[in-house]
Structure 1
Amino acid sequence: MAVRGFEVVSKYQEAGLTVPERSTHNAAGYDFKAAQDMVLPSLVNQPFLKELNIFSLGKISALLEKPEVRAALKPTLIPTGIKAYMQPGEFLQLVARSSAPIKKQIMMPNGVGIVDADYYNNEGNEGEIFFQYLNFGLEDVHIKKGERIGQGVFMPYLLADQDEASEKTTRVGGFGSTGEA
């Protein structure tokens, strides 16, 4: 019986992807790679920032309400083409590569991603894992298919005494499907 591991999602079955692997004997994290070429646009080069100056600071709230500004501030989701299976009581923690901010000026805006066990093959989602990044550098960053973009670490978790008292639902969706902010 399989306990935990990775599979390629159906969309990428013919794309030549490999499942994440650890690089060294004592590595905690499995290296995830990009499933396709991607461009992470520089936040600095966004049109709204070019308009922003010391005189417009009083108008920043109105500026942030513009749909094009809100869209520009959204992180880019990098597909991995991979899904993870695990046991109840476990999750997969997604973290950036330690070199990402220094070498590429990119960061995960959520700091750490959490992939729950029920994200895998639920009713409305196959469970593809994405890494989200913001590019705070001066230039767009080009990510190539097969480039290492992050790591995943399988972790156990504990429950609070009151956990059984709360009502739970069944996951039926994909990325961000457990509710709004």
Structure 2
Amino acid sequence: MKFLNEQGQEITLKRAENLPGYEVTLSEDVVIDSAVNNPFFKGINILQLPKKLKGFRENSDLKTLFAPQVLNVGLKIILDEDECAIFEPVEELVLNQRLILVNRIFGTNQIVRPMFINFGLRNVKLRSKTVIGTVLIQKNNIEL
């Protein structure tokens, strides 16, 4: 197993403190929008709700309501054929920020791009170099 950056250069990740894996940090600032900031809810009045709900399934704003947002961590993983990488988000993002991870498992030669949905009431702002999770390397010991 080895880790590469976006330019294909081998890099070393810091060992995680609380899990047997490696820390994953953001490579750029990001804002994960809250679902309540969707344009569908702007200026909505309870009396207008029946009118707004007409064409509910075709509403372009609602189609993106719970679309996951991809976070760029600038990391590519090269694994042995019997390994996979499991991404585990930090507890702060899940419990306090109300972010839900959509994809968790990455294979060899994949770029690690965690995707989150914000179920909180506020936008979540994350700065570059913020630790967002831990990548664990799972080795398959099963003989076929």
Match of 2:58 in 1: 65
Q: CA deviation at 1:70?
A: 1.6
Identity %: 20
Which structure 1 segments of 5+ residues have no match? Answer: 121-126, 162-181
TM-score where L is the length of structure 1: 0.65
Match of 2:97 in 1: 104
User: Over the residues paired in the alignment, what is the CA RMSD in angstroms?
Assistant: 2.9
What is the aligned counterpart of 2:128 among 112, 125, 145? 145
Match of 1:74 in 2: 67
Distance 2:113 2:22 in 1: 14
What is the aligned counterpart of 1:87 among 66, 77, 80? 80
Q: When you count strand as a share of all residues, which structure comes out higher?
A: 2
Q: CA deviation at 1:19?
A: 4.3
Match of 2:106 in 1: 115
Aligned pair count? 140
Which structure 2 segments of 5+ residues have no match? Answer: none
| C-alpha contact (below 8 Å) 1:8/1:19 kept by paired residues | no
Is residue 31 from structure 1 mapped to residue 23 from structure 2 by the alignment?
Answer: yes
* Highest RCO, 1 vs 2 (Cα 8 Å, sep ≥ 6): 2
TM-score where L is the length of structure 2: 0.80
**Secondary structure, in 3 states, of the residue corresponding to 1:146?**
coil
Q: CA deviation at 1:65?
A: 3.2
Q: How does 1:123-138 map to 2 (within 5 A)?
A: 127-138=110-121
Distance 1:136 1:85 in 2: 32
